[in-house]
Chain A
């Protein structure tokens, strides 16, 4: 079955700094999804990437899917305390069209 590995596991940055979170898949990605979880709450969908080389942005967050469709990166520009939380990447399980599997998450703390 497919596995997703995220790095780093945790990240502490100063407000205003840029940062990047990576998600690497053991298999070709047919769909890659980024979610954010505020501490103690449920997950919120951020973006979906499906095509090799695709890039999407939402406010100060940009996500890319590499050409080989096995790695995605999430980049935050000029981080703010509101960006703090856990970021998880999810992907279609290649064995089933119904299942979405997740990486272990990256905990982000932004210091004011």
Chain B
């Protein structure tokens, strides 16, 4: 199994609070992705990174920011969480760009 860990795995928070999800990999893969999964929408790309300090927006980036200060960590931050951001968040990594992605186990976030 690819060495990819998400934390926390579960979080309940209140509207307006900041939240940071962490994705940690031990594979030294260049590409890292954050997706959210919601019923009826499948997986939607939030942000992705193609190298240290190199990030770009995905389909649903509003309300989210990311940082990648080192190869192994990709952080997703919700500056002020809203109920619409209640979702399951998945981190994924790949060595050569899109295609065969390795996914983490997911982080379930509930915003009350």
Footprint of B on A, CB under 8 Å? 1, 6, 31, 33, 35, 40-45, 48, 88, 90, 92-93, 96-105
Question: Which residues of B lie under 8 Å from residue A90 when comparing CB positions?
Answer: 43, 98, 101
Contact of B42 among A1, A48, A93, A103 (CB under 8 A): A103
12 contacts between A and B (CB under 8 A): A33-B99, A42-B105, A43-B90, A90-B43, A90-B98, A97-B97, A98-B50, A98-B56, A100-B33, A100-B101, A102-B42, A103-B42
Question: Which residues of B lie under 8 Å from residue A104 when comparing CB positions?
Answer: 40-42
Contact of A101 among B59, B90, B92, B106 (CB under 8 A): B59
In contact, B100 and A99 (Cβ under 8 angstroms) = no
In contact, B98 and A41 (Cβ under 8 angstroms) = no
Give the distance in Å from the alpha carbon of A52 to the alpha carbon of B74 in the complex: 35
- Most chain B beta-carbon neighbours within 10 Å: one of A31, A97, A101: A101
In contact, A42 and B106 (Cβ under 8 angstroms) = yes
Q: B24-61: contact bitstring with A at CB < 8 Å (1 yes, 0 no)?
A: 00000001010100001111110010100000101100
Question: Which residues of A lie under 8 Å from residue B101 when comparing CB positions?
Answer: 35, 43, 45, 90, 100
Number of interface residues of B (CB under 8 A): 26
In contact, A105 and B103 (Cβ under 8 angstroms) = no
